[in-house]
Structure 1
Amino acid sequence: MYDVHEIRKDFPILSRQVNGKPLVYLDNGASAQKPQVVIDAVTRAYAEEYSNVHRGLHYLSNLATEKYEGVRGTIARFLGVADEEQIILNSGTTEGINMVAYGWAMPRMEAGDEIVLSVMEHHANIVPWHFLRERQGVQLKWVDVDSRGALDPQAVIDAIGPKTKLVAITHLSNVLGTVVDVKSIIDGAHAKGVPVLVDGSQAAVHMPLDLDALNPDFYAITGHKLYGPSGSGAIFVHRDRLAEMQPFMGGGDMIREVHKDQVIYNDAPMKFEAGTPGIVQTIGLGVALDYMMGLGMENIAAHEAVLRDYTRKRLDGLNWLSVQGTTDDKAAIFSFTMNGAAHAHDISTILDKKGVAVRAGQHCVGPLMDHMGVAATCRASFGLYNTEDEVDVLIDALELAHDLFG
């Protein structure tokens, strides 16, 4: 049984008040709250078990190394990956995509080569490719979404030309909630000999994954959205791409030997994990993923689907609200603007007075905002602990904002 009210007890912050009102946390798309088991694991790692990893032969170093390295296998199970050596541990999606940009794409792209993107990519999956545009003359090709926020996979495949070297695509839009058919895109791109990078920051939170079946070349996730600590994450890199990728950063741990005139690199994935890592953050991420798998990703997805449908129904009753992203296949993420002069920041401020935490602004998707013709939106993004009662509180707060600004 998925008992959301019992689950909420695992998250201490959900019992607090904000502005004298019970906290309704609907900013999960930006960063999710942490269960007590993660908080305890982080505290214990610092208070009782801390040491550097891979470096020492003493008890604490061995313990920290065992726990840290164990997370690689946990992430592999969570993502549906049989070979855990395809998992590179890092600080999150941003580092992962930059690793691919510098270590894989930059050495093999030249002026006139192309990268295909969708217009709804997060800046983390845009700016690294702009670096290649600025520095090496790489061209960015953009694929639009339709009026409902849906992305046609065939349009992405058709955008691939003889100069295309990479497709970089989100699995789930952080603003529209759109679930992208990345399997069709991957299969179509591979048929043309083009690798695919998938930004899985949002998708990994909301749905079960089987990367061995999906078969991407790169798939990035970030820990703080997965109910784990900030500064944690990973990127899956297919064995074929690992063999092609150069180290992103140099330092300790990613080498076997260093001499005055020679460096011998470590094997993958260690080859791409330079320096002292986020030891405690990564340990906390492993506990967070175990927590999610304990609840069952199918159960989480089913619960959030109920929230999505209920929220859609309630928002549809507000004829003075415009929702961006209305495709049927979407997650429980709702971005909206209020008809009239009210700015998203003003709306979010009123909601905050009622204890409702939402995001306001451009959500790191400048090209999508330009495409939609809006300056900013409010975004309510739901997680595994949210309830229908909280949706009702959101609606009441929106009606108050409309009364004030309408």
Structure 2
Amino acid sequence: MSTIFSLDHAKDLDNQDPLREIREEFSIPKQSNGEDEIYLCGNSLGLQPRLAAQYVNDELGQWRALGVKGHFSGDYPWMPYHEFLSQGFADLVGAKTTEVVSMNTLTANLHFMMVSFYRPTNQRHKIIIEDHAFPSDHYAVESQIKYHGHDPKESMILLKPRDGEETLRDEDIIQAIEEHGDTTSLILLPGVQYYTGQVLDMESITKAGHAKGCYVGFDLAHAAGNIPMELHQWGPDFAAWCTYKYLNSGPGSVAGCFVHERHHKNKELPRFAGWWGHDKESRFKMENSFVPTESAEAWQLSNPPILSLASIRGSLDTVAKAGGIHKLREKSLKLTAYLRQLLESELADEVNILTPKSEKASGAQLSLTINLHGTDGKTIFDAIEAAGVTCDFRYPNVIRVAPVPQYNSFEDCYRFVVILKQAIEGAAS
């Protein structure tokens, strides 16, 4: 048994953790025996911040007390409420406040972005995505191609890992852009791949895509709140993300969107318009001549759901309490490295980690497969779930585990490996 594989060692690491008290800002689900769950599923749905609950209740109180006057009254009036999230979003993704906006849901935002940034011609009609894209992204891309009268079999370039490998190589992505760039309209890739947890080199992809005359966008569902980014500096044309994973804003909460400022003053850029994207100074003149706001807000359609935005504001304020994304990333690197170290020291023969080991190419999530003859990953997943672990399973054979720096501890990682080891030993006996 390795010296690191002990409860005392895990507790020592927690005692040294400067962010350990942030866990108290969250409601941790309980097991039937009253103990905290070992919740390692922030890659799917983050836990509830206490501030999120408080802020939602505050707005329910405003609605109860003020009715329609809540749009213009109080510390956080509803009319400009989405603006209260702009700084938090900008800090998370490395953008200017004018480049980010909270609106819609993730796939809806991808569609709205493709209205503006997928403008196929007979010569340039392809979209480069990954072969194992999240299904919603694949469906959105395929449907956009069909909508424009093209054949997905000809217009979708699907990036695949090399034979025998699980993750994409940076050089292979760049090579595909070089090869297909002259006939490609849009490159749409994830910041963090949902299945393997691989972090893609967004800066290099953007540079290569723009050099070939392509628009470049990113799905940041698994990146926002997980890794620091510099979207303004890197220069992609757009990005979109959900807020209920590492941003802990609640199931189905309103998503975020980034549009680089170089597009803000282009009034000729095609878009599906709505009145909430109209210039704020003249919006309530109710004239039927659309004048887009010169910011990412121009892509808004309708006034947003305030209760959801309140939850996001609580989540963003909790991130700020922890010192921001860079402080969280410092802990995340230590937390995930510790979990990887435990798995490699105790279960090297039984567990394969798909997620790259490089800090540059990995976030909080580790994707695991089980190497046990006669036993599949789902059997092991069911066993650890019954023992108090919450993570998730993705077919055909991956257990996704994400120690989130805001509310997970080193002790969580240790206890998870103890339970996983017991489950594997039980299945093997």
Global fold match (TM > 0.5):
yes
- Work out whether residues 42 and 284 of structure 1, in 8 Å CA contact, stay in contact via their aligned partners in 2: yes
1:282 CA displacement: 1.5
1:165 CA displacement: 0.4
Please give the residue correspondences for 1:3-402 in structure 2 after superposition, counting only pairs within 5 Å: 3-14=18-29, 16-18=30-32, 21-49=35-63, 59=73, 63-82=77-96, 84-105=97-118, 107-109=119-121, 113-135=125-147, 136-137=149-150, 138=152, 139-146=155-162, 147=165, 149-153=167-171, 154-225=174-245, 226-229=247-250, 230-242=252-264, 243=266, 245-248=269-272, 250=274, 252-254=275-277, 256=283, 263-267=289-293, 269-296=296-323, 297-316=325-344, 317-318=346-347, 319-328=349-358, 329-338=361-370, 339-362=372-395, 375-384=396-405, 385-402=407-424
Identity of aligned residues (%): 19
- Work out whether residues 223 and 232 of structure 1, in 8 Å CA contact, stay in contact via their aligned partners in 2: yes
Counterpart of 2:409 in structure 1: which amino acid?
Answer: T
Q: Partner of 2:28: helix, strand, or coil? A: helix
1:292 CA displacement: 1.1
**Cα distance in 2 between the residues matched to 1:361 and 1:57:** 43
Pair 1:127–1:21, CA change in 2 (3 A) = same
- Work out whether residues 141 and 159 of structure 1, in 8 Å CA contact, stay in contact via their aligned partners in 2: no
Q: Select between 155-164 and 314-323 the one with higher mean Cα deviation.
A: 155-164
Name the TM-score, length of structure 2 as normaliser. 0.81
**Cα distance in 1 between the residues matched to 2:35 and 2:123:** 56
Q: What is the alpha-carbon root mean square deviation over aligned residues?
A: 2.8
Pair 1:267–1:217, CA change in 2 (3 A) = same
Paired residues, number:
387
Q: Partner of 2:290: helix, strand, or coil? A: strand
Q: Deviations over 1:307-331 (max 9, x none)?
A: 2211112222311223223342312
The residue that corresponds to 1:367 in the other structure is none
Q: Deviations over 1:40-68 (max 9, x none)?
A: 11111112357789x98753698222433
1:112 CA displacement: 6.8
Q: Deviations over 1:5-48 (max 9, x none)?
A: 3121111225x324655301011111111221121111111123
- Work out whether residues 361 and 376 of structure 1, in 8 Å CA contact, stay in contact via their aligned partners in 2: yes
The residue that corresponds to 2:6 in the other structure is none
Unaligned runs of at least 5 residues, structure 1: 363-374
- Work out whether residues 124 and 185 of structure 2, in 8 Å CA contact, stay in contact via their aligned partners in 1: no
Q: Partner of 1:275: helix, strand, or coil? A: coil
- Work out whether residues 52 and 65 of structure 1, in 8 Å CA contact, stay in contact via their aligned partners in 2: no
**Cα distance in 1 between the residues matched to 2:341 and 2:387:** 21
Unaligned runs of at least 5 residues, structure 2: 1-15
Q: Select between 233-242 and 183-192 the one with higher mean Cα deviation.
A: 233-242
- Work out whether residues 118 and 169 of structure 1, in 8 Å CA contact, stay in contact via their aligned partners in 2: yes
Q: Partner of 2:366: helix, strand, or coil? A: strand
Counterpart of 2:60 in structure 1: which amino acid?
Answer: Y
1:102 CA displacement: 3.5
1:241 CA displacement: 3.9
**Cα distance in 2 between the residues matched to 1:227 and 1:245:** 33
Name the TM-score, length of structure 1 as normaliser. 0.85
